[in-house]
Amino acid sequence: MRSEETDKEQRIIRLFHQGDASAMDLLYTDYAGYLTWVGFRYISDDDDLKDVLQESFIKIFTCINSFTYRGKGSLKAWMTRIVINESLQFLRRQQASQIVRMDDLDLPDMAEEEPDLTGLSADSLSEMIRHLPPGCREVFNLYAVEGKSHIEIARLLNIKPDTSASQFHRARAILARMIRKYQLKKARE
Amino acid sequence: MKDQWIRDMRRLLDGYEKDPPDGLLDEVKQAIGERNLRPVPERKSATWPTN
C-alpha cells in the first residue's frame, strides 16, 4: 500500500519534471514548515535563518532534477541535507563556530547529567536547542537530532571525533541546566 | 536506559514545524529569476515564470 508521503513526494518530483510552475508552491506548502525547523535549530538569528533558507530553497528548486527518488522519505531527507549543509556553511563563513578553537582547549568537566524532558513542549525544547552556544549546538543537532556518529560529525565539521564527543557532552549538560531552570520557573508560576 | 532521553527528545520533536519567514517563497522565486536559474531543465512546455 502506498503511503501519503510517498505519493506526495512522487507527485512533487513529477511536477518538477513536467516543468509545472505549481511544483515550487506545492513543495513549499508541504515542506517549508519542516525545513524551517531544521534551519531554526542551527541558526539563532532570524534574519540569518531567512538567508539560509532562501539559499536552501534555491538549491532545492534548481537541483531537484539531479535528485533520484529512492523511496518514502528520500526527498525529505535530501532537502534536510541541503538545509543542514547551507546552515553549516553559513556558520563557517560567519566564523560563529567555536569548535576548531576548542580543539586545543581543555574543556571543563561537565556533569554527566541527562536532560529531563518532563513537561517540556516541543516549542520550549526547540528554543533551548537554538540557544545552545555555537559550536556545541551544531554537534548536538548532528548527533542527537540527526543521528550522526561522532566520526561522521568530525568529517563534516573538520574536527576530531573526540572534540565532537566533548562538545556533545557540553551541549547536553548545558541543555540539562536550561531545562531544569525552565522547570523550576514553571513550578513557581 | 542509555540515551533514552535522546529517543524521548526525537519523539517530542517528531513532526514539529516552525512558520517559515514572511515572504520567503516570493524572495526565492525572485532570486531564481534574478540569477537566471531555472528550477528544472528547460522544456518546450515549461511554464515557469520568467523575470
pLDDT over 70 (residue A117): yes
Nearest to A37 by CA among A91, A75, A83: A83
pLDDT over 80 (residue A42): yes
Query: Residues A96, A159, A92, CA angle at the centre, nearest 5°?
Result: 25
The model's pTM = 0.86
More confident residue, A149 or A19: A149
Please, what is the angle between helix A22-40 and helix B24-34, to 10°?
110
* Of the partner residues B19, B32, B45, the one whose CB lies closest to the CB of residue A36: B19
- Express each pLDDT in B1-51 by its tens digit: 568 999 999 999 999 999 999 999 999 999 998 988 877 654 444 455 544
Q: How crowded is residue A77: how many other Cβ atoms within 10 Å of its Cβ? A: 12
d(CA A61, CA A145): 25
Q: Is B49 part of the contact surface with chain A (CB cutoff 8 Å)?
A: yes
- Of the ranges A8-17, A47-56, A65-74, the best mean pLDDT one: A47-56
- pLDDT for A105 equals 43
Interface probe for B, chosen from A38, A117, A175, A178 (most Cβ of B below 10 Å), is A117
Q: How crowded is residue A121: how many other Cβ atoms within 10 Å of its Cβ? A: 11
The CA distance from A132 to the nearest CA of chain B, in Å, is: 16
Number of residues that make up chain A: 189
- pLDDT for B13 equals 95
Per-residue HEC secondary structure of A118-167 comes to CCCCHHHHHHHHHCCCCCHHHHHHHHHHCCCCHHHHHHHHCCCHHHHHHH
- pLDDT for A6 equals 72
The alpha carbon torsion through B45, B47, B49, B51 (nearest 10 deg) reads 10
Longest Cα pair distance anywhere in chain B, in angstroms? 58
Nearest to A117 by CA among A132, A128, A130: A128
Residue found under cell 573538520:
A158
Taking an 8 Å cut-off on Cβ atoms, the answer to whether A144 and B9 are in contact is yes
Residue A104: pLDDT band (50, 70, 90) is: very low
- pLDDT for A111 equals 60
B39: cell is 528550477
HSE-CB for A187 with a 13 A CA cutoff: 8
* Of the partner residues A20, A54, A145, the one whose CB lies closest to the CB of residue B28: A54
- pLDDT for A125 equals 96
- pLDDT for A55 equals 97
Interface probe for A, chosen from B11, B25, B43, B51 (most Cβ of A below 10 Å), is B25
The CA distance from B1 to the nearest CA of chain A, in Å, is: 11
A51: cell is 538567508
- Express each pLDDT in B2-12 by its tens digit: 689 999 999 99
More confident residue, A122 or A189: A122
Which residues of chain B make contact with A61, given a CB cutoff of 8 A? 28, 32, 37, 39
- Express each pLDDT in A126-185 by its tens digit: 999 999 998 899 999 999 999 999 999 999 999 999 999 999 999 999 999 999 999 998
Average pLDDT over residues A6-16: 89
Residue A2: pLDDT band (50, 70, 90) is: low
